[in-house]
Amino acid sequence: MSIESLESLRDHLRVFAKDRDWDQYHTPKNLSMALIAEAAELVEHFQWVEGDQSHLLEDKTRSSVEEELADILIYLVRISDKLGIDLYKAAERKLEINARKYPADKVRGSAKKYTEYEDKHD
């Protein structure tokens, strides 16, 4: 198996679910719940680690983190497929929105939310 793009991953996941008769369970609701559960499992690996140490993972932890990230991607691709959402286009649109909400000259070096600095008179 060779997965070279989100489209090929999507196609593989379609077949994988069909072969197991799982489409009946792969509703956007169920998939989004599964995605959140996997995201929570990812967070567990970093829960009690200092922020500046969170990138220094032991091999066993790195392997587990890799699996959780893969699960998250799989569920994300599956949900987008079920809803007919092109993830590339959605990400492109969202980056454009974020560029307007977070202009580099206003937010550089700040972790504040855009509502904390935006000029209400613009």
pLDDT reading at 83 higher than 90: yes
pLDDT band (50, 70, 90) for residue 119:
low
Q: What kind and span of H or E run contains 95? A: helix 87-101
Q: What kind and span of H or E run contains 49? A: none
**Could you read off the pLDDT of 28-82 as tens digits, one per residue?**
999 999 999 999 999 999 999 888 888 888 899 999 999 999 999 999 999 999 9
> What is the residue type of 41?
E
Q: Which domains does the chain have, with CATH numbers?
A: 6-85 (1.10.287.1080)
Query: Where do we find the tokens 């989100």?
Result: 6
Report pLDDT for 122: 47
CB–CB of 28/82 below 8 Å?
yes
* C-alpha–C-alpha distance, residues 23 and 50, integer Å: 40
pTM: 0.84
